[in-house]
Amino acid sequence: MHRASNGSSGESENWVCLGTVAKPFGVRGGVRIRLHNPDSQSLKPGLMIELRTAKDQGKISLKIKSEHGNGRVLFEEITDRNEAERLRGQEVWIQRDDLPQLSPDETYLVDFLGAQVHSEKSGLLGEIIHIDIHSPQPLARVKTLSGQVIEMPFVAGLIVGLSEADKEVWIEEPIGLFSGEPDVAEEGGS
């Protein structure tokens, strides 16, 4: 097992987190990885990955020996269940270049972390600080100019433009999402 030192934050731009080690499987040191995208096809024999702790206390570089579907893998460097158990909870990172190629009309949501969110109505609204794909629809956490954090659906009906190169997302701003105003008119009184 090769342990690497902590890297700079700029180094993380070339890496993508696929998920976390959920638990061991089998007796030969296999692990089950809870993938952020359950349909991911990124885990393949020969792939070099990094395991990282959430508190950034170092990294472990490992090579996938075999892949058994549903996020189950064996590493060349891990040979028993006790070693695999110690990996529980670690984040699984791969080089950005190791992600499958996309068609021209597709993009990876991770590429919009740090993107500026704009609307024609209000201009700059904030910056995307997190994208959650575990919900029924992807949600982008946007830190507004006032410091408030808003959860915004990252869906085609709301997003009207994307620029991966400029790190910009343009939305059709729904009433109340960023302003706090109610999205329906209150009924009149007596």
Q: What is the 3-state secondary structure (H, E, C) of 40-53?
A: CCCCCCCCEEEEEC
Residue 83: which CATH number? 2.40.30.60
My answer on whether 75 and 159 are in the same domain is: no
Q: What is the pLDDT of residue 40?
A: 84
84 with 151, same domain? no
pLDDT tens sequence across 11-69: 456 888 888 999 999 999 999 999 888 888 899 999 999 999 866 677 999 999 999 99
Where does the pLDDT of residue 181 fall: very low under 50, low under 70, confident under 90, or very high at 90 and above?
low
Indicate the residue among 98, 118, 151 that finishes a domain: 98
Residue 10 has pLDDT above 50, yes or no: no
Q: What is the total count of domains within the chain?
A: 2
**88 and 136 housed in the same domain:** no
What is the share, in percent, of the chain residues with pLDDT greater than 90? 52
121 and 51, same domain (yes or no) = no
Same domain membership, residue 8 and residue 49: yes
Classify residue 10: in a domain, yes or no.
yes
* Max intra-chain CA distance, the chain: 75
More confident residue, 93 or 133: 93
Residue that has been written with the tokens 């695999």 in this structure: 84
Q: What is the pLDDT of residue 106?
A: 79
DSSP string, 145-157: TTS-EEEEE-STT
CA–CA distance, 67 with 60 (Å, rounded to integer): 19
Model confidence band, residue 171 (pLDDT cutoffs 50, 70, 90):
very high
Q: What percent of the chain has pLDDT over 70?
A: 85
Does residue 1 surpass a pLDDT of 60? no
Taken in order 8, 9, 15, 16, the sign of the CA dihedral is positive
Q: Indicate the residue among 49, 74, 98 that finishes a domain.
A: 98
Domain span at 78: 2-98
3-state secondary structure at position 25:
strand
Residues in CB range of 47: below 8 A, 6 or more apart? 63, 64, 94, 98
pLDDT of the residue at 134 = 67
pLDDT of 8 above 50: no
- Confidence grade of residue 180 (pLDDT, cut at 50, 70, 90): low
For residues 91 and 120, state if they share a domain.
no
Residue bearing the bigger pLDDT, 157 or 48: 48
Say what the pTM is.
Answer: 0.65
CATH of the domain at 128: 2.30.30.240
The pLDDT assigned to 4 comes to 34
The pLDDT of residue 179 is above 80: no
The pLDDT score that the predictor gives to residue 174 is 84
